[in-house]
Each structure stands twice: as C-alpha cells, then as structure tokens.
Amino acid sequence: MPPSFLVSLCNTGKSTTHLLQVDTTGKITPAAYRLKPKLRGATGWVRLGDRIIISLQSRAYSFAVTDENLNRAIYLPNGPFHCDLHGLVAFQGHLYSVRTARNEIWRLSPDLKPLDCVNPNQSDDNDTLHINDLCVHKGRLVASQFGARRNTGKRIGCVFDVLSGEVLFDGFTDPHSVTSRDGLLYVLDSATGSLFELETGQGPRRLLSVFGYARGLYIDDDWIVIGKSVHRTDSRSRRTPLPPLLFPDSEVRAASGRAGVYVYERRSGDCRFIDTTRYGGEVYRIDRFDAPQPAAQPATSWLTQLTTRLRGDIMQMYGGQI
C-alpha cells in the first residue's frame, strides 16, 4: 500500500467534506462521515487510539469525533469553548487547542472538557497574534504565530515555547505548521512558500520552496508533503482587498487558483502536485494516516461505545445531545 496522508480543509464553505485521505499515487478518498450544516471547515486534528478528534470552524460546533475509518462522527456544540479553533495536539495526558480569535491556547481533558488557558497574558479578542499550530518538541509544547501588527515594520512571525513564552526562532512571514521530527523543528513560511529547518544554535535553514501559499506539512526520511491553498484576493481579518498579484502568463495565474498537496520523494527528487480544489480551496493540516481496513460493524454498536465514552463530564459541560 502506498503511503497515505490525512488532509484537513478549512474555509471550505459549502463543500461536502472537510477531510481527505490522499496517497502518494494521487488517489483521493473523502471522509465518509456526514457533515453538519453551517460548518466552514476543519483545521487541527489528532488521533487518540481509535478516535480522530477534529477542530471545526463553526459557530455551532467546536469538535467532531470520528471512528478511525472516518465513517461516522459525533459533533460537540460550542457551549463555552469556541472562537476560531486551529491547532490541536496531545501533550502530557491532555489535549491542547488554539483559540486563534482570542490569541489563547487551552488545555483540555482527553474528553475535550476545557480546563484552563495556559497563556492568559496574551488574551485579546482581535486575533492580533494569529497563533495557529502546535507540536511537541523535546518535551516542550511549541506553537507558531504571525506576531502582533507593528506601526514601524512588518509582523515578526515566530516559533515559541507555549508554557514559558520563550521565542525559539523568529523572522518568519505567516509561519504555519510547526512540526517536530528527529530532534529538529520545521516550519512553513507560508507567504514565501518556504520550508525551514530549525536547529538550536543555528539560524533557520531553508530546505525547499513551493509555488503558492504553503500550509500543512508532513516530513520524514522519505517524504515531504506540503499543502497549497488558493491565492486569496481579500484579507479575511481586515475585510479589505489585498494588493494585486501579477503573473507572467495565464498558466501561472491558473495555478494560483488551485489548491492541493505537493508530494516530494526525497531520495529520488521526484515531485507531484495532487489537485484537491474540487473539495475546497484551502489546505490546513497534513499528517501520515494509514487507516486500518474497515471492519464490518453495526452503526448502533459503534455509536453506543462512543457515546458511553464521551457522556459524563463532557455532556454536562457542553449540554449537547448525541
């Protein structure tokens, strides 16, 4: 079986799916679970045992929880926990979730009960920092953020230690998808399409660049997979048109309007672009996902098991119904 990756799609509007399983041959399999109305997309996701927990863009729901084959899902109403959820990671027995609109990172129980904000000094309701993604690196919880807007220069994007506030690396433009692999950190400089390797005591080292806005990263010894989103013409935060982007020819202009994933085989140097535009214009998270073969199981059996696991504290907190 060829390597397979799970790709989340954000800001998708009326798309019929927010998760795609994509393999290195170009095969695309949309997640089979049914979407709720008024979902704008999915951002961070994490695998916990036989469950996939997905952060949602929605005024009605915070998270979806699916079986390991992505066939069925339950949805958790927003309740007290919402505000533009982005990155999601498991760390030291808890989940950590980014509330980007509030510039906050929250610690959650494994059943998604909000416990506390771990960076309350950065609370603000204007998405002024655009904290986005999380990873665990050498026992530390690490995040990427754009940084505050400045009157005297450009925003200074950085990668920082969440619990101590220490800036580990900076100087990036729209950093996303901070990732840890074999003792090194990696981050996408999204605005330039560049992938940087980060090593303590060394300056950021650019490994490669892709055409387009880069967001979503998987890296190992064999593969580098990077997401590309459709070029935006308007600022979502300021609700104003962006400056025009000039193209050398019509083919390049058309390519700017496509979303998908670059799949780069490191040993051979071969690269292919897998177009996912028909499912949504913006890629968010990518990670390895070799799903088990589906097993025959009645829907009621699966739902009963998952309902039992999630009922208790989480149902009391959210006041939801499964």
Domain range list for the chain: 4-234+243-318
Which DSSP letter does residue 36 get? P
Between CA 40 and CA 47, with CA 45 as vertex, the angle to 5 degrees is 145
Mean pLDDT across 34-59: 91
Burial class (CB in 10 A: 0-12, 13-18, 19+), 11: middle
Q: Could you tell me the pLDDT band of residue 196, with boundaries at 50, 70 and 90?
A: very high
Residue 197 pLDDT more than 80? Answer: yes
- pLDDT at position 231 is 85
Burial class (CB in 10 A: 0-12, 13-18, 19+), 29: middle
CATH 2.120.10.80 fits 4-234+243-318, yes or no: yes
Closest CA to 119 of 60, 134, 218, 320: 134
Q: Which amino acid is at 187?
A: V
Mean pLDDT across 136-157: 94
Q: Could you tell me the pLDDT band of residue 122, with boundaries at 50, 70 and 90?
A: low
Residue 304 pLDDT more than 60? Answer: no
Could you give the CA distance from residue 189 to residue 196 in angstroms, rounded to a whole number?
7
Using alpha carbons only, how large is the chain's radius of gyration in Å? Answer: 19
Mean pLDDT across 245-253: 90
Residue 298 main-chain phi, psi, to 5 deg: -60, 145
**CA 114 vs CA 49, 61, 94, 105, 178: distances in Å:** 20, 14, 10, 11, 23
Residue pLDDT, tens place only, 76-118: 988 666 668 999 999 999 999 999 988 999 999 988 999 999 9
Mean pLDDT across 276-305: 75
Contact 5, 23 (CB under 8 A): yes
Closest CA to 99 of 118, 86, 115, 114: 86
Mean pLDDT across 18-27: 96
- pLDDT at position 315 is 45
**CA 113 vs CA 63, 78, 312: distances in Å:** 11, 11, 10
Could you give the CA distance from residue 210 to residue 224 in angstroms, rounded to a whole number?
11
Mean pLDDT across 185-203: 94
- pLDDT at position 74 is 94
- pLDDT at position 52 is 96
Residue 300 pLDDT more than 60? Answer: no
Average pLDDT of the chain to the nearest whole number = 88
Which of 113-122, 128-137, 182-191 shows the lowest per-residue confidence on average (mean pLDDT)? Answer: 113-122
User: Percentage of residues in the chain with pLDDT exceeding 90?
Assistant: 67
Residue 39 main-chain phi, psi, to 5 deg: -95, 135
Q: Percentages helix, strand, coil for the chain, rounded to the nearest 5?
A: 10, 45, 45
Could you give the CA distance from residue 61 to residue 130 in angstroms, rounded to a whole number?
21
Q: Is the dihedral of CA 171, 90, 275, 232 positive or negative?
A: negative
The CA-to-CA distance between both ends of the chain, in Å, stands at 35
Residue 295 pLDDT more than 90? Answer: no
pTM of the full predicted structure?
Answer: 0.88
Could you give the CA distance from residue 306 to residue 259 in angstroms, rounded to a whole number?
34
Residue 296 pLDDT more than 60? Answer: no
